[in-house]
């Protein structure tokens, strides 16, 4: 059986998810391919399954006719449903939502998607994101819904023993745009450095996905807070190199700081946890399946810098709790996001629809 995953561009969490699950689904005898409309930085990550990058209808139809996919899972882009039907595809179409950003935007998008979803979708899929599940139930009560965790291969993406920096590092991963809330990270780092003078700040980003006006404000705030010597920017680091960075951040005595306002199912948090890098995060909805306060990570209240600094210092200074969190987080990813479980859930979904 063959399936196709469709998304705009191979970058960020969806690209990571697709790489992970195309391999995991082989455990259930499913061959998975990916179609992206435009090139993205994730194309630098090696894969061993077919990836197509095109907007051309003739090329897309060729792939559809050649492979005769049993199902096509479209992430976010509900407008592609009539297009795929126009190109002759008659199989099952599944709309997957990994996250839209702000909750009001998610509602607006899912309401506007109604004509396309009701006409074409055989099922709805999301990775146990509470606000998305709630919207599915409200807006599409008669369409089958499937909610299960994404998969994560902890055997290949795991802790990497290497010399750690002399000074603690707090890190941030994302796009320079409002929902990822980069401003809050800069302010947290600024105030945390009053207690930890040797603190280093690392930010991992894809500059191609940043919003120009936000980037200008980003550079201005760095200068305003005099963070130039403390802050290091990393652009488009290959995913295969990230276990090293997460591992040394964890061993430095620092942590990953996720400041997002709303998230679907952020892969960066799972990656950090698998590499024994502690996580401090907002309760951004989609993290509810991965972070449990003082057990697999720590929460702080969105917008409350004082609370973030307090919890961050707790992660850095309470060595017993820190080691417990590192160990428990790694074990949680291994169990709850197991590729075998994902493959079984996905196969059951396909069988049902």
Query: How many Å apart are CA 96 and CA 149, to the nearest integer?
Result: 12
pLDDT at 164: 87
pLDDT at 281: 97
pLDDT at 116: 97
pLDDT at 208: 79
Query: Average pLDDT by consecutive 10-residue portion of the chain (353 residues)?
Result: 97 93 98 97 92 98 98 97 98 95 92 97 96 96 97 95 93 93 98 97 89 92 97 94 97 97 90 98 91 97 98 97 98 97 98 96
Does the fold of domain 169-336 match that of domain 2-151+338-352?
A: yes
Query: How many Å apart are CA 223 and CA 160, to the nearest integer?
Result: 34
CB 239 within 8 A of CB 16: yes
CB 122 within 8 A of CB 92: yes
Nearest CA to 287 out of 261, 312, 307 is that of 261
Torsions phi, psi for 146 (to 5 deg): -130, 125
- Helix axis angle for 182-192 and 212-224, nearest 10°, is 10
**Could you give the strand order of the β-sheet that contains 298-300, starting from the edge strand earlier in sequence?**
231-235, 200-205, 169-174, 255-258, 279-282, 298-300
pLDDT at 112: 96
pLDDT at 264: 83
Is the CATH number 3.40.50.2000 carried by domain 2-151+338-352? yes
**Whole-prediction pTM value?**
0.93
CA dihedral (210, 284, 155, 235) in degrees, to 10, reads 20
pLDDT at 142: 96
Domain boundary assignment for the chain:
2-151+338-352, 169-336
The fold adopted by the segment(s) 169-336 is: Rossmann fold (3.40.50)
pLDDT at 279: 98
Residue matched to tokens 């010597």? 229
């Amino acid at each position: 059986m063959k399936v196709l995953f469709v998304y705009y561009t191979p970058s960020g969490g969806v690209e990571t998810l697709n790489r992970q699950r195309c391999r995991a689904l082989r455990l259930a005898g499913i061959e998975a391919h990916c179609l992206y409309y435009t090139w993205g930085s994730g194309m630098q990550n090696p894969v061993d399954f077919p990836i197509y990058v095109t907007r051309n209808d003739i090329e897309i139809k060729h792939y559809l006719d050649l492979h005769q996919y049993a199902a096509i899972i479209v992430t976010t882009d509900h407008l592609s449903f009539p297009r795929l039907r126009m190109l002759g595809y008659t199989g099952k179409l599944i709309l997957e939502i990994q996250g839209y950003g702000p909750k009001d935007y998610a509602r607006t998008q899912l309401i506007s998607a109604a004509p396309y979803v009701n006409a074409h979708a055989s099922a709805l899929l999301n990775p146990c994101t509470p606000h998305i599940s709630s919207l599915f139930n409200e807006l599409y009560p008669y369409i089958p819904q499937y909610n299960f965790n994404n998969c994560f291969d902890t055997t290949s993406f795991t802790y990497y023993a290497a010399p750690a920096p002399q000074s603690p590092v707090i890190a941030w991963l994302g796009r320079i745009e409002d929902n990822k809330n980069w401003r809050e990270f800069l302010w947290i780092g600024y105030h945390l450095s009053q207690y930890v003078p040797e603190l280093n700040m690392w930010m991992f980003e894809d500059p191609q996905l940043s919003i120009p006006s936000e980037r200008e404000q980003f550079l201005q705030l760095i200068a305003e807070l005099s963070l130039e010597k403390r802050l290091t920017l990393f652009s488009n680091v290959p995913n295969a190199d990230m276990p090293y960075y997460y591992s040394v951040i964890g061993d430095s005595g620092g942590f990953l700081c996720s400041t997002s306002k709303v998230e679907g199912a952020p892969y960066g948090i799972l990656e950090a946890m698998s590499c024994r890098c502690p996580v401090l995060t907002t309760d951004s909805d989609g993290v509810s399946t991965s972070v449990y306060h003082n057990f697999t990570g720590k929460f702080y209240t969105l917008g409350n810098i004082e609370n973030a600094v307090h919890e961050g210092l707790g992660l850095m200074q309470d060595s017993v709790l820190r080691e417990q969190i590192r160990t428990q987080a790694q074990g949680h990813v291994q169990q709850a996001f197991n590729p075998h479980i994902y493959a079984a859930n996905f196969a059951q979904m396909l069988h049902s629809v």
